[in-house]
Structure 1
Amino acid sequence: MNTAFANLYQSDFTPTESERRLSAAAEQYVNETEAYDRTVCTGPIKHGSIMPANAHERGLVNRNAMRAMDRLYIKHPEFTRQQILREVSHAEIRGPSL
């Protein structure tokens, strides 16, 4: 096998410290918002997350999510908004770890 190819494409992936911090921050966001959602929502649980039952609950959930995201941006200025949003999206796919 071509060693140059193996070195480029078959190496072990090890996240950097920065990537680990970003991932941890995104997971914390998902866990915190889901914990809040569970205190205000009365709808069904779908795919491990509780759903708002009405517009009022949806408003509470959205307001909390925006505030939590703003706190995340402020707490981690070393990351761009796009990086944070992408990692939060990945963390949401993995689901909350409550």
Structure 2
Amino acid sequence: MNTAFANLYQGDFSLTESERRLSAAAEQYIAETEAYDRTVCTGPILKGSIMPTNSHERGLANRNAMRAMDRLCTQHPEFTRQQILREVSRADIRGPSL
């Protein structure tokens, strides 16, 4: 294969340092919120996450999630809240990293 073709059509798909930090922040958020949820929720575990059984548990989990997101945004001012939320969504879909 010639180098001109390779330069045009084959890319380097490794993450940048910024993307690695964003991904690590999202993984941290998921781990922290799930750990808290497991202390307050009594529902079933679906797709690896515990579910709240009533509105009180849901409220506790949601308040903690909002505080955790605020803390994460403060710790990582180089990313917007929207970027962090998007990466959390992606990380949640991917599942736990090994």
Do both share a fold (TM > 0.5)? yes
Per the alignment, residue 55 of structure 2 pairs with 55
Q: What amino acid is aligned across from residue 66 of structure 2 in structure 1? A: M
TM-score normalised by L of structure 2: 0.89
1:76-95 CA-partner distances (Å, limit 9, x unpaired): 00011111111011111123
Higher relative contact order (CA 8 A, sep 6+): 1
Distance of aligned partners of 1:4 and 1:82 in 2 relative to their CA distance in 1, 3 Å threshold? farther
Distance of aligned partners of 1:56 and 1:5 in 2 relative to their CA distance in 1, 3 Å threshold? farther
| Aligned: 1:90 with 2:97 | no
Once the two structures are TM-superposed, the CA of residue 3 in structure 1 deviates from its matched residue by 5.0
CA distance in 2 between partners of 1:8 and 1:85 (Å): 32
Query: Alpha carbon RMSD of aligned pairs, Å?
Result: 1.6
Once the two structures are TM-superposed, the CA of residue 9 in structure 1 deviates from its matched residue by 3.5
Once the two structures are TM-superposed, the CA of residue 73 in structure 1 deviates from its matched residue by 0.6
Where in structure 1 do 4 or more consecutive aligned residues deviate above 4 Å? 1-5
1:47-77 CA-partner distances (Å, limit 9, x unpaired): 0100000000000000000000000110000
| Aligned: 1:46 with 2:46 | yes
TM-score normalised by L of structure 1: 0.89
Q: What amino acid is aligned across from residue 36 of structure 1 in structure 2? A: Y
Percent of aligned pairs sharing the same letter: 85
Q: Any gaps of 5 or more consecutive residues in structure 2?
A: none
**What pairs up with 1:1-80 in 2 under 5 angstroms?**
4=4, 6-80=6-80
Distance of aligned partners of 1:77 and 1:44 in 2 relative to their CA distance in 1, 3 Å threshold? same
